[in-house]
Each structure stands twice: as C-alpha cells, then as structure tokens.
Amino acid sequence: MTTPAPQSRTIWREGLWRNNAALVQLLGLCPLLAVTSTAVAGLGLGIATLLVLTASSVVVSLIRNWVPQDVRIPVFILVIASFVTIVELLVAAWLHDLYRTLGLFLPLIVTNCAILGRAEAFASRHPVGPAAIDGVAMGCGFAAVLVVLGALRELIGRGTLLAGAEQLFGPVAAGWTIELVEGDLFLLAILPPGAFIGLALLLALKNRLDDRS
C-alpha cells in the first residue's frame, strides 16, 4: 500500500523536531539513557542508529509490495537485524574502543522501537526517496538528542567535552578533549539518575519552546 509522500521539508521538520523519536515518541530510551555519559559515546551510537534506520527504511520501501501483510513485522525485524549486524561488525573491526564503550547497546539497536516504527508507519507506505529522507531525518533527530544529553551530562559531571574523541575519530582526535574544570564536578550527572533528570529537562525545554511558538 502506498500513500502520498509528504514534502521533504515536512519530513525533516517531523524527524528533527515535531515528531522526534526521543523527545516526542519517547522511543529508544534504554540506549538513550544508558550510553549518554559522554558526548562521544552518544554521537557514536547516534551514527550507528542513523545508518541502520536509513538503510532499513530504504530496503523496507523497496520490498513493501512483495511482503505479505501477515508477515511484514517479522520481515522488517529481519531486515533491521541484518543491518545492525553489519554495523556492529564494522564498528568492532574499525572502532574497537568505541565498540567496547557502547557494549551491549550496539546490538540492541535491533530492539529500538523507533526503527521498527518508522519501517511500519512510513517506509512500508512510501517510495524509496521519501523513505530514505525520513530515515535520515529521524536518525539525525535521535542522534542530536543523544549528543546533547551526553554533552550536558559530561560537562556537568566531569567538566569536560569530547572526552574519548579518539574512540570515534582515531588518534588524530587524542587532543580534542576540552577540559573546562579540573576534577569531577557533579557526579550525579553521569550516573543513571542524571540521565533521567537530563532527559526530563530536555523534554521540559522542548515543550516550553512548542508552547511559545
């Protein structure tokens, strides 16, 4: 089944702000809260999720007319799991330190409801072009929340930014760490309660901005 595709601008607006997977749909909260102790870890998981979301949206759109309705969910999950495996193997091979930092949450991308939700709600109903744009927009919106939350927690908890950048960008980024304050600041920020508090503050900020607009 195919429905009229919205304009690219509308898709970008939905993915980045109005229907953000993390701040509006509240999907993928497990990795969002667990991994974002630093900005680099959040960015690494965000890029991995973006790649999986975009690739799976494209493939689901391509096969949408050949998949029976009765088995579409298992097929979509199989597609997503295939791309998660590919991304996981690439990260393990080329960015092993980041792979160790992300740990179990990298393969758990397959359980991210945001990816399956976009495959079912959008990619399976639209042509490849809009589906690809939707995957990129939703992935960028989710990654942005990961990075912002990770940066806030790292800044408040450790007084640094971009700590461990070499895990993602290689040895050239070894000196990229910005140390604003020596020593730890507010350790609660980098502990699990800090993740919930940080996300709550981001949700409150978004709701406030939406109310004002």
Domain count, the chain: 1
Q: CA 167, CA 38: separation in Å to the nearest integer?
A: 12
Does pTM surpass 0.85? yes
CB 127 within 8 A of CB 61: yes
Residue 174 within a domain: yes
CB 147 within 8 A of CB 43: yes
Residue 1 within a domain: no
**pLDDT, position 78:** 96
The angle at the Cα of 47, spanning 148 to 45, to the nearest 5 degrees, equals 70
Task: Please list, in sequence order, all residues whose beta carbon lies within 8 angstroms of the beta carbon of residue 104, skipping any fewer than 6 positions away.
Answer: none
Q: CA 119, CA 81: separation in Å to the nearest integer?
A: 13
Residue 43 within a domain: yes
Residue 104 within a domain: yes
Residue 2 within a domain: no
Residue 19 within a domain: yes
pLDDT < 70 regions, the chain: 1-5
Q: CA 181, CA 165: separation in Å to the nearest integer?
A: 18
**pLDDT, position 1:** 55
CB 122 within 8 A of CB 131: yes
What single letter denotes the amino acid at residue 53? L
Residue 120 within a domain: yes
**pLDDT, position 79:** 97
Residue 3 within a domain: no
Cα-Cα-Cα-Cα dihedral sign, residues 75, 81, 84, 89: negative
**pLDDT, position 139:** 96
Task: Please list, in sequence order, all residues whose beta carbon lies within 8 angstroms of the beta carbon of residue 134, skipping any fewer than 6 positions away.
Answer: 11, 14, 15, 57, 118, 122, 123, 126
Which residues constitute the domain of residue 115?
8-212
**pLDDT, position 6:** 80
**pLDDT, position 3:** 67
**pLDDT, position 169:** 94
**pLDDT, position 2:** 60
160: which strand partners?
A: 179
**pLDDT, position 181:** 81
| Greatest Cα-to-Cα distance within the chain, rounded to the nearest angstrom | 59
